[in-house]
Amino acid sequence: MKTITSLASFVALGSALFAKSASADQHFVNFYEIYNVLSVTGQLEVPTKDLSGTPYLWPGLQPYNNQGVLQPVLDGRNKGWFFGNNYVGKPSEPYGGGVGAPLGSTLSYVMRNSNDGKNNWYSEVSNENGDKASYTYELGLTMTQAIFDCELYDVDWNFGDVIFKNIEIIASGSDLSWCNDHPYSSSVNYKVDGVTSSKGDNTVSCKIEKITLSPPS
C-alpha cells in the first residue's frame, strides 16, 4: 500500500499556513517505483461548479520515503477555485503563489528538477488568461512517485469526473515498467488513456493523453 502525504498537515493560502485536523477522503492513482523523476507537465480541468466544503485536486510528486509531496493544488474552498504551488511535508517550505481558476477552464502546471545538483524543484502554475505563478523549492529530494489525487474534506464528490490531461513524465534511466494504464489506485474508479513511451540518452518519457478519476462505486 502506498502512503500519500495529506494536505491536512498544513494547507497553504497566500503567505499563511493553516492547520486542518479533519481526515481526508483520498481518491488517487500513483505511478510509482520511478527511478528518478526529472519533470512532470500537464493540464487539469476545473470543475463546472463551485462547492462547499474543502476539495483539493492535484497532481504531485513524492520521494520514496513519502516525507512530503510537491503539488500544484486546485483549491475549491470558499465556493471558488484557485490553483497554487505547494509543498507539504519536510522540509517546511512556503506557499509558492497561484492563479485564478475560472469554472470549466483548463489549467497548466510544471514540476521540474532544477538541475542544480541539489535536487531542488521548480513548480509553475498557469491559467488560460495567461496568468502564471512559480516558485523554486529547496527540497533536496529525489522524486519517485507521480500522483493524481482528488482529496476531499467535508464535501461529497458530486461535481463530476476529475480530468488530468496532456501529461508527460520524464525520468532518468531506462526503466519504463511504471508507464502503463494500470497504476496503483485507492478509493477511486479511473481510466488512463493514450499511454505512449520512448527512450532517450539515459532518460525515458511517458506521455498520457488523459487520466479520468471518477467517484468510487
The number of folded domains in the chain is 1
Give domain status of residue 49, yes or no.
yes
| Per-residue pLDDT reduced to its tens digit, 167-213 | 999 999 999 999 999 999 999 999 999 999 999 999 999 999 999 99
Give domain status of residue 104, yes or no.
yes
Give domain status of residue 82, yes or no.
yes
User: At 188, which CATH number?
Assistant: 2.60.120
Sheet of 184-186, strands arranged across: 98-100, 82-89, 68-75, 54-63, 143-153, 25-31, 184-186
Give domain status of residue 96, yes or no.
yes
Give domain status of residue 5, yes or no.
no
Give domain status of residue 17, yes or no.
no
- Cβ pair 58, 73 in contact under 8 A: yes
| Per-residue pLDDT reduced to its tens digit, 68-80 | 999 999 999 988 9
Hunting for cell 497532481 — which residue is that?
Answer: 59
CA distance 111 to 67: 17
Nearest CA to 83 out of 63, 62, 65, 110 is that of 110
Give domain status of residue 178, yes or no.
yes
pTM for the predicted model, two decimal places:
0.91
The three-class DSSP label of residue 43 is strand
**Of residues 12 and 124, more confidently modeled:** 124
How is residue 141 annotated by DSSP? -
Give domain status of residue 12, yes or no.
no
For residue 201, the Cα-to-chain-centroid distance in whole angstroms is: 27
The radius of gyration of the chain from alpha carbons, rounded to an integer in Å, stands at: 16
| Per-residue cell: 210 | 488523459
Domain hosting residue 134, numbered range: 24-214
User: Which runs of E-coded beta strand occur in the chain?
Assistant: 11-13, 16-18, 25-31, 37-45, 54-63, 68-75, 82-89, 98-100, 106-113, 121-126, 132-137, 143-153, 162-172, 184-186, 189-199, 203-214
Beta bridge partners of 164: 44, 211
**Of residues 214 and 4, more confidently modeled:** 214
